[in-house]
Structure formats: structure tokens, C-alpha cells
Amino acid sequence: MIILIVVLFAVLGFVVSSRLKSKFKKYSQTSLKANLSGKEIAELMLADNNIYDVKVLSVDGQLTDHYNPMNRTVNLSPDVYYGRNAAAAAVASHECGHAVQHATAYTWLNLRSAMVPVQNASGKILNIVLIASLLGGFMLNLPYELIGYIVVGSYGVMTLFTLVTLPVEFDASNRALAWIKTRNVVTQDEYAMSKDALKWAAMTYVVAALAALATLAYYIFIFFGNRD
């Protein structure tokens, strides 16, 4: 069953990821009428939100764009940083949406940030338990029910993290789309492209959350589903 879950969501994830890349490639071919680069759009959105302590940087890779709250940087891949198209506008403004969330103490972002160390610790604990169970050793001496609580508890935290990530990502996209429309950064057609691109980007997080929920349900059934 766990193999079936992994394969199912791996295929679904591949389909969504391929669709996302296809959309970004398509919309990258449409030059913005405003002729603004991703870097310029990001800096403009930050300034409009009175955020002056966040730097916009270029990072290597494709679709590696992210906001880092630790050093307060908006990191854009070269295609987005230098791009002057609907896809670049969508990504640049989305990442700045996270910067705005940070500056305004957005509740879901604060919760997600607070969960990061707990989520990381849960991942390590889960890996230790699963590897130890496969290799034998001290885990075999623990009660089966206790192992179940450890596995379900650890994976439960990781699942909760993926769920908390959803409102953070959707809100960042909503902020981005509202701003580029109000600021006239994009035309009506370019806005539709940016919206579609961000929709498929959000779908990657939805698939991850569904996969986590399915896996958590599987672990709960395995360890506690056969109780009398």
C-alpha cells in the first residue's frame, strides 16, 4: 500500500511539475508591455509596501526562487531575475508576497517559521526509526505500539507543516496578483498568464499536502487500525 501511495503521488507530482514547467516556458515567451525585469518588479513591489531592508538577489538554477526570512532576501533564478515576461512577473511578485507577509507578521507565515525546527527534528526522528526498524537493533525491543506513536507523531508534524504551507503560498500569490494588477505592471492578457502560472505553482504544494495526508493515514491504519 505504501508503495502504491508513493507511486501514485510521484506520478501526480511529475504531471503537475511538467505542467508547471510547460506553463512557465510558454509564458516566458511573452514580453511584458511594461518592459520590466523580475528584479525591477520585485524592487518596485517592496518599495510600494515600504520594505527597504530586503535585498533582491539572483541565484543559480531553474525555479529555485524563494524568500529567505533569515537574511531578508528575495532570491530569483536568472530566468526570473532578468526576465521581462509574464512568468517572471508572476514569480518575482509572488516571492515579494512572502516578504510582505514577513513585514506584516502574517499569522500563517509566523506559524510555519516556528514549525521549521520541529519539522526538521521530526524528519530526523522518523528516518532513525524507519532505518533502525529495517536494520534491526534496539528498535526491535520497543513495544510495537510505541513505535507506532513515534512514527505517526513524527509524520503528523511533517503533514501539518505541509498543510500550514498552503495558506502561506496561496496568500503570497493573491498579494502578488492584486499588486501587479493594481500597479498596472501587466496588461489584462499578461495578468491571466501570471495567474495561471501561479495556479500551477500552487498545485505542487497541494499535491505534496495530499501525499502527506495519504501517507499519514496509511501509518495510522498500519499501527492502530487493527485494534479490537
Question: Looking at the predicted structure, is the pLDDT value of residue 119 above 70?
Answer: yes
Output the pLDDT for position 83. Answer: 97
The three cell numbers of residue 47 are: 518599495
Torsion angles phi and psi, residue 199, rounded to 5? -65, -45
Q: Which one from 95, 145, 169, 190 is the annotated catalytic residue?
A: 95
DSSP 137: S
Output the pLDDT for position 136. Answer: 63
Q: Which of 203, 224, 107, 95 is nearest to 164 (CA)?
A: 107
Mean pLDDT computed over 147-151 = 89
- Listed in order, strand segments (DSSP E) in 70-146 are 73-76
Output the pLDDT for position 222. Answer: 86
Specify the number of domains making up the chain: 1
pLDDT digits (tens, 9 = 90+) for 1-31: 667 877 888 888 899 989 999 999 999 998 9
Residue range(s) defining the domain that contains residue 120: 2-224
pLDDT digits (tens, 9 = 90+) for 42-69: 999 999 999 999 999 999 998 899 999 9
Question: Looking at the predicted structure, is the pLDDT value of residue 76 above 80?
Answer: yes
- Helix axis angle for 188-224 and 144-182, nearest 10°, is 170
Question: Looking at the predicted structure, is the pLDDT value of residue 228 above 80?
Answer: no
Listing DSSP states for 138-188 in one string gives GGGGS-HHHHHHHHHHHHHHHHHHHHHHHHHHHHHHHHHHHHHHHTT-S-H
Per-residue CA distances from 20 to 25, 182, 198 (Å): 9, 25, 9
Q: Which residues contact 171 (CB under 8 A, 6 or more apart)?
A: 97, 101, 106, 108
Q: Has 190 been annotated as catalytic?
A: no
